Amino acid sequence: MRLKTLIAGAMMMPAVALAWPWSTDMMNQPSIKPQEGTMLNFPERSIPVGGMPTKVADREAAKSLVNPIKATEKSIAEGRTLYKIYCATCHGMTGAADSPVGGKIGAIALNDSYVQESLTEGWVWGTVTFGSYVMPAYGIPQGKRGSNDLNVEERWHVVNYIKHGLVKDHMAASTAAAK
Ligand code: HEC
């Protein structure tokens, strides 16, 4: 009777039941857990992986950021690929906001002078990072809006494409369509 009462009691108080000494057996293993023990120094000359720690509070703060990635052919090509995956649905294949969705949600054209001349590269990067009013974020999700699909470098590649490849692509597409 006493044993039954004990078991019944343990079942009613799972917190107590979980605290048996053997409850954590599976957790305690020889491997070192995060924050456990002393951190070893990094080997000499090691470099961060995928490292470009760009921390900014919001889009306003990103406005004056200097693009750390040169607009080489390679970067522009990378940006073009990412643009077609992530941006073309709304902004159109070559930025003229002529996609079926674009017209419905008011996506703006990226090939006109507003984006090409008035907006800084930092601002465009900030827009991709934090999103805009309707546009979702691609770097740092805002609440439930957006994702972190693009890392810091990828966002700069997209900026390089918008500022150094998109207009050319748009003109080539328009010429081809007119033929
Ligand atoms: C879901 C649709 C959608 C997608 C996808 C999208 N945008 Fe936008 N974007 C918008 C809309 C709508 C606006 C205008 C309203 C606003 O600012 O939110 C906009 C505005 C912008 C602006 C102008 C910001 C300003 O200050 O006026 C830029 C630059 C831009 N988008 C770039 C991009 C890039 C680069 C991508 C891909 C990484 C992208 N957008 C993906 C919908 C989208």
For the segment 140-176, what is each residue's pLDDT rounded down to a tens digit? 988 878 888 999 999 999 999 999 999 999 999 989 9
Q: Considering the domain boundaries, does residue 125 fall inside one?
A: yes
The whole-number pLDDT of residue 4 equals 74
Q: Considering the domain boundaries, does residue 52 fall inside one?
A: no
Q: Considering the domain boundaries, does residue 156 fall inside one?
A: yes
Which ligand 1 atom minimizes the distance to the CA of 59? 26
8 Å CB contact between 166 and 95? yes
Parent domain of 84: 59-178
Number of domains in the chain: 1
Q: Considering the domain boundaries, does residue 4 fall inside one?
A: no
Task: Give the pTM.
Answer: 0.77
d(CA 49, CA 89): 31
Q: How confident is the model at residue 52 (pLDDT cuts 50, 70, 90)?
A: low
Q: Considering the domain boundaries, does residue 51 fall inside one?
A: no
Q: Which of 110, 132, 163 should be mutated for ligand 1, with most atoms under 8 A from CB? A: 132
Which ligand 1 atom minimizes the distance to the CA of 87? 37
Q: Considering the domain boundaries, does residue 160 fall inside one?
A: yes
Q: Considering the domain boundaries, does residue 43 fall inside one?
A: no
CATH code, 166: 1.10.760.10
Q: Considering the domain boundaries, does residue 8 fall inside one?
A: no
Q: Give residue ranges with CB within 6 A of ligand 1.
A: 86-87, 89-91, 105-108, 110, 115, 119, 124, 127-128, 132-136, 138, 158, 162
Burial of 157 (0-12, 13-18, 19+ CB in 10 A): buried
